[in-house]
Structure 1
Amino acid sequence: MKVNTINPSSFNYEFDEKIHNHPKKYYFKGEFGIPFYPCLICFLGITSIFSFFFVYFYNPFHFSSQSIKQFPHQPTNYIKPQYDEENCDLFKGKWVRDENGTQYTTSSCLTIPESKNCFKNGRNDTDFLNWRWKPYDCELPRFDPIKFLQIVGGKKMAFLGDSVARNHMESLLCLLSQVETPVDVYKDSEDRFRKWHFPSSNFTLMTFWSKFLVQAEEIMVNDSGTGSFNLHLDKVNKKWASKLYGLDYLIISDAHWFFRKNYLYNENKLIGCVYCNERNITELGLNYALRIAFRTAMKYINNCKECNKGMVTLVRTFSPAHFENGGWDSGGGCNSTRPRSDEKGKGMEDRWFELEVRKVQVEELVRAREEAGEEGKNKFRCLDVTNAMLMRPDGHPGEFWGNKWMKGYNDCVHWCMPGPIDVWSDFLFAVL
């Protein structure tokens, strides 16, 4: 079986993500001609009963967000996480059967984007939902939306990166919306920067779009985009850098846009390229470009004077694609319906490339912690999802991504909702 790395340059990431509310309407039918007084007596009786319920009980016909303190704590499998990095690695484990079902559905979460709503787009198998992540030496607590909102109450969290970073935010949004309906506060003209607010906990959730983390300009030919970029590796993208003020949590993830022909600059001078195969230009490789981009972003965060002193930055490691029997543009697909069966890393030898990308990200995280010094080293944490997601070729939309402009192409980069991506919020919950 041939496995190819994706070049996502031609994927159309701009999907219609409008939220549709469908309020239920109740219609009461009756027959006229009933004598007036019996009808009046009946009406008064019913009114008395309803008045009693409405005075003494919570309105049974209306659902609204309650404050976190007032919200009744529903039974959960909550286990207070003891995150001991020496004795327990949450990110090393295996997928085990779990028949408890998902914490949200396509009906209970109205914010699922069309492109990740795999069931709406025709996917019929459901077994890929019946698995949970089991670390080898400890337990990973199931995401508890009430306790999560208690932890982040009054704070601001942003996801920074590409459309897979956005995918993570969308998954978290669905999980939290099961206990409180978020308010859609802001969307820019391109739907790249979003902001949601949870009034009862005063929690703000945002997403900052950035293909490369650093400044980049697409190379144009005859006023048409080429899909290649000039990357200024020494300059952060100001669009996200200017929005860090007031943040308490920043979750960074990026990589997929580096899988293309790009030209690399430092101090406005061309220093090399990625996948260009051109004479007189040094091929520096994808990992080099990714490493320096992360280093520049982390350095900016470390030196950010406008940022909250207690802001925590988490790096979510590379989320692998699973194209089989071809690339995205050569008939490749992802038709698995079950996780890969891997025991303590065995069988991962063919995915060394993805593990190298992960290694770069982790090394730059460690560097940032060292540069932060003793007082700031705990401001940098890791959400290491790579190993877990390498085993989940069954979790992508594949052909069920609803893009009518790209029929015949498969999406083996993003993740179905609900689906394996929801474990990322389990990790986030445990680490926080």
Structure 2
Amino acid sequence: MTTQPPPDRRLSQLIFAVALTSLLVLGMVRVVFESLKNKGSINVVDLLKLQNHRVVRLPITVSDDEVIPDDCNVFEGKWIWDNISAPHYTEESCSYLVKQVTCRRNGRTDSNYQNWRWQPSACNLPRFNALKLLEILRNKRLMFVGDSIQRGMFDSMVCLVQSVLEDRKKSLVRIPPRKIFRAEEYNATIEFYWAPFIVESNSDHATNHSVLRRFVKLGSIDNHSKQWEGVDILVFESYIWWMYKPLINATYGSLDKVDEYNVTTAYRLAMETWGNWIEKSINPSSQTVFFMSMSPTHLWSWEWEAGTDGNCFSETQPIQKPIIYWGTGSNLDIMRRIKKVIGKLKIKVRLLNITQLSKYRKDGHTSVYGERKGKLLTKEERADPKTYADCIHWCLPGVPDTWNQILYAHILQDYHTS
């Protein structure tokens, strides 16, 4: 015979159960209310953090507003001033930022470069949602491959997602030529792999890559590609290292025969080697590949303001022109070769054409507020911006955050259609 507990004990158990249920309901209502107040809509991935900070895994919903319409080219549009939703993070809130990109910390007095939002002409980009992206990346690897420009995009992505993770459940390690950010709770990694030419070269050392005589192996990629095998989402980029001189020392095949190649010819041969690896190694059912178009430079102020003789130094506003602006910091021959190689591939590779939209952002570079050869510029060097201003790399928060927002939109769209 089962013995029933005394009435007063049953009453206590009932009161406890009701109280616990009420607390859980109130907690859910509070989270929903905060989500509505802050974002205007409820994101189910944001909903609950219960006891011990365990994230309750719920299915991701992608609304119609978050999907890019087929007839919308997200790379056509304009920069809109937005000091409400931008930036997504600050230098202070992201401890993973390196000195090369922390322009404000390094002495830059203006911060307007952080508050411009890219607005496509025919649609809206979805608001970046770190928890939603991390859920999509659960048990997956996202890797950025390229040079220091691509490393800046990696740094940006890490800062965009890290704030929603507890300190003890996130980490960043450097295993040259890789940097690996891990979100422990999601078993997900965001990685960077140093390969400035994508194919092999004598500049492949992650930290000691400044050489007097650059040399590229146009037909060799295996030493790099073995690190890319099985990565779920790959984002490639390679441009500025090719543009040092019109000719580049390279070999194609035998290492005993080194010739001077025209840069655009050498670039095409390197991209064809990369393309052959893509077709041989990528599984389109489980892997996604993107290629970033060139990140533009702003070395000559006469291009956007006739009669001047400066560069990006002291620029605080984007280029405001009613027509499409294109300066010498972007090589059209290289752009055509990228498109041609990608267009011939049987494996789908999407081109993230960030060149035109970034070309307007003369204000976003590190200028004299970054590093040179691993050290911040001296007071004397900063006083000579014509010589020392870096009009290649970008401050963070800044332009690379927009590149990642566009990448996020494509990843979200893939999830929606899968």
TM-score for both structures, normalised by structure 1: 0.71
Q: Does 1:414 align with 2:396?
A: no
Q: Which amino acid aligns with 1:196?
A: F
Change over 3 Å in CA distance of 1:428–1:70 after alignment to 2: same
Change over 3 Å in CA distance of 1:333–1:64 after alignment to 2: farther
Match of 1:358 among 335, 346, 364: 335
Match of 2:249 in 1: 263
Change over 3 Å in CA distance of 1:301–1:136 after alignment to 2: same
Q: Does 1:391 align with 2:368?
A: no
**Alpha-carbon distance between aligned partners in 2 of 1:296 and 1:387, rounded to the nearest angstrom:** 26
Match of 2:83 in 1: 99
**Alpha-carbon distance between aligned partners in 2 of 1:225 and 1:135, rounded to the nearest angstrom:** 38
Change over 3 Å in CA distance of 1:402–1:214 after alignment to 2: closer
Match of 1:24 in 2: none
Q: Pairwise mapping of residues 111-150 of structure 1 onto structure 2 (< 5 A)?
A: 111-150=96-135
Match of 2:72 among 60, 69, 88: 88
Match of 1:205 in 2: 190
**SS, match of residue 251 in structure 1:** strand
Q: Which amino acid aligns with 2:394?
A: W
Displacement of 1:121 in angstroms is 0.3
**Alpha-carbon distance between aligned partners in 2 of 1:134 and 1:110, rounded to the nearest angstrom:** 29
- Deviation string 1:181-207 (CA, Å, 9 cap, x unpaired) is 46335312xx53111111222211111
**Alpha-carbon distance between aligned partners in 2 of 1:427 and 1:92, rounded to the nearest angstrom:** 12
Change over 3 Å in CA distance of 1:351–1:324 after alignment to 2: closer
Q: Which amino acid aligns with 1:316?
A: M
Displacement of 1:335 in angstroms is 2.5
Match of 2:170 in 1: 183
Q: Pairwise mapping of residues 364-403 of structure 1 onto structure 2 (< 5 A)?
A: 364-368=341-345, 372=346, 376-377=347-348, 380-403=349-372
Q: Pairwise mapping of residues 4-403 of structure 1 onto structure 2 (< 5 A)?
A: 66-67=54-55, 69=57, 79-84=65-70, 87-100=71-84, 101-181=86-166, 183-184=170-171, 186-188=173-175, 191-217=176-202, 226-236=211-221, 238=223, 240-261=224-245, 262-268=248-254, 270=257, 272-273=259-260, 284-304=261-281, 309-324=285-300, 333-345=312-324, 347-348=325-326, 350-351=327-328, 353-368=330-345, 372=346, 376-377=347-348, 380-403=349-372
- Deviation string 1:111-132 (CA, Å, 9 cap, x unpaired) is 1111100110011112222211
Displacement of 1:109 in angstroms is 0.9
Percentage of pairs with the same residue: 25
Change over 3 Å in CA distance of 1:271–1:198 after alignment to 2: same
**Alpha-carbon distance between aligned partners in 1 of 2:53 and 2:192, rounded to the nearest angstrom:** 23
Task: Note the residue ranges of structure 1 that are not aligned, 5 or more in a row.
Answer: 1-51, 219-223, 274-283
Change over 3 Å in CA distance of 1:257–1:103 after alignment to 2: same
**Alpha-carbon distance between aligned partners in 2 of 1:266 and 1:319, rounded to the nearest angstrom:** 26
Change over 3 Å in CA distance of 1:206–1:63 after alignment to 2: farther
Q: Which amino acid aligns with 2:400?
A: I
**SS, match of residue 117 in structure 1:** coil
**Alpha-carbon distance between aligned partners in 2 of 1:422 and 1:199, rounded to the nearest angstrom:** 23
- Deviation string 1:213-268 (CA, Å, 9 cap, x unpaired) is 112236xxxxx975222212111151x21112331111000111112352121112
Task: Note the residue ranges of structure 2 that are not aligned, 5 or more in a row.
Answer: 1-18, 28-49, 204-208, 303-308, 382-387, 412-418
**Alpha-carbon distance between aligned partners in 1 of 2:152 and 2:53, rounded to the nearest angstrom:** 24
**SS, match of residue 250 in structure 2:** strand
Q: Which amino acid aligns with 2:392?
A: V
Q: Does structure 1 retain, via aligned residues, the 8 Å contact 2:229–2:281?
A: no
Displacement of 1:358 in angstroms is 2.5
**SS, match of residue 116 in structure 1:** coil
**SS, match of residue 317 in structure 2:** coil
**SS, match of residue 427 in structure 1:** helix
Consecutive aligned runs of 4 or more in structure 1 exceeding 6 Å deviation: 62-65
Q: Which amino acid aligns with 2:74?
A: L
Relative contact order, higher structure (CA 8 A, sep 6+): 1
TM-score for both structures, normalised by structure 2: 0.73
Please give the root-mean-square deviation of Cα atoms over the aligned residues, in Å: 3.4
Q: Which amino acid aligns with 2:174?
A: K
Change over 3 Å in CA distance of 1:295–1:418 after alignment to 2: same
Q: Which amino acid aligns with 1:96?
A: I
Q: Which amino acid aligns with 1:95?
A: W
Q: Does structure 1 retain, via aligned residues, the 8 Å contact 2:370–2:376?
A: no
- Deviation string 1:335-363 (CA, Å, 9 cap, x unpaired) is 21011113351x32x44843433332222
Q: Which amino acid aligns with 1:315?
A: F
**Alpha-carbon distance between aligned partners in 2 of 1:299 and 1:400, rounded to the nearest angstrom:** 40
**SS, match of residue 234 in structure 1:** coil
**Alpha-carbon distance between aligned partners in 1 of 2:106 and 2:210, rounded to the nearest angstrom:** 30
- Deviation string 1:288-343 (CA, Å, 9 cap, x unpaired) is 222221221121121127x67521110011001112369xxx98553210111133
Larger helix percent: 2
Q: Which amino acid aligns with 2:226?
A: S
**Alpha-carbon distance between aligned partners in 2 of 1:423 and 1:200, rounded to the nearest angstrom:** 26
